[in-house]
Structure 1
């Protein structure tokens, strides 16, 4: 749907304050949700959000996650990218306009100051009421212009702060909310970059064994803690092995991209990870009860030149299933063919 710049600007000015008031990060998915709410494009969504705000006082980011899944799950990714571009362009436009207005106001005051001084000198010489009145009116106008310039300066500072906030929240586009490691979107982008290189790249898929019982036995908060702890361990392992990146692939499954490594090196690294995770010791803080050991199954595949990326993921996934079928808590690499 095409919209004029002024209309987009208007919606932007309405949307951002509402997001801030509800403690919702200014990221493309959330902005898409609130922008849609502001424009009223989906009446059912707008009514639902109105009801939530009326009942709970706000519509926080966790509620927004549910609404995104319910109402905007099928929105194309390019719409989210368009929204991010929309935010940046509007803020940049507002900032540029404000800076130009500030510059013009400053130049005007510089010119007025000199002219008023000449008028004042002439008024003193002529000593006529009309001349003094003209000087008084000019000084009053200059004072208002200066007040306007100061207001613009304050607004510009707020815009600069907003730009910085947007730059910070842009990073959240690529972070998983629960684990704070790279998300699936980041994985997809990095996989394309890593495999575009002529160097070897290996993909490791990691799955927490028997994860459902963690939720059933200890509750979902403990289940979340298990996922977070495994993610942290993977990230620490990647920091030790330079260049490796960890991602939350979905649910209790993770992915690692290992550039400049062959299948032998990647398999050894996968086993190191498996052993390190198996040594994790967690305690249920509510009961003091030790939580059962965490084990993982891993599948490893090396990228083949010219191979479709989906085929690489499929091969690694097949190896992961082989590891699970072999009794779990083991690594299965894709054999060279």
Structure 2
């Protein structure tokens, strides 16, 4: 079968088309899946470039996938040949990723694709959707009337987090970088939108205070990392919470956060696969199943910014590295 693999770390040029043997079912609950589409995530770029370690080469990246079941193990109960499925599985920790034509996965880690989604849309969802869900409902316990600030609201996680927050009746504040993204997040339901290219950070903070009884937001969701945490500390009310997906800068002055009694949570949806936590992996698969109803009812949409053939994988990585995509980037096999 055709795969995209890397033999060493480096820039996008290390991504090469190769041929390997098609995988076979090993366990009774396995599914052999013909991969139709896979999405590109920042973790792929970090692995490829050496920011995160790869234990063994050649490596096949790609955590998210969607496809058609070609064959089932003898004890599979919930799926049959021909079913359309999507999943988060592999792409690191020596597990084959989804930049490939075929993949074998236990049925425990697979969900049926919502009726309203294409393969490309379904492939775009898992990592970003699970991240947004865990951030809002596991860490932040968001509820009706909660005020939440989501930076990078037009990104993969951001645009899903806006919709999930609105589905709970939250009031959403978000930041974006241009007018197209402003229109995009407005259509998703964001209540208060700030173009940080046009507005000074002090102006943004002042407006948020004015709209929150001079308190700040209850929750801040950080999709940026680095020094951005400092701005979120100022935006978040006393006894509020910041959920971050990324590493804060070592230069952060935490004194204000301490005196405001803020709660800081780290969201890394990769943890269950990193530490082989099977029960947690099943919980994450159940999140995909829960969201199917939201997709099919029209309350949740996934935005795919670009669809490229697998041969254009280098271009797909470069789009993510450029940092200006709205929603997700997908490759098709």
Q: If the length of structure 2 is used for normalisation, what is the TM-score?
A: 0.21
Larger relative contact order, structure 1 or 2 (CA cutoff 8 Å, min sep 6):
2
Larger radius of gyration: 1
More strand by share: 2
More helix by share: 1
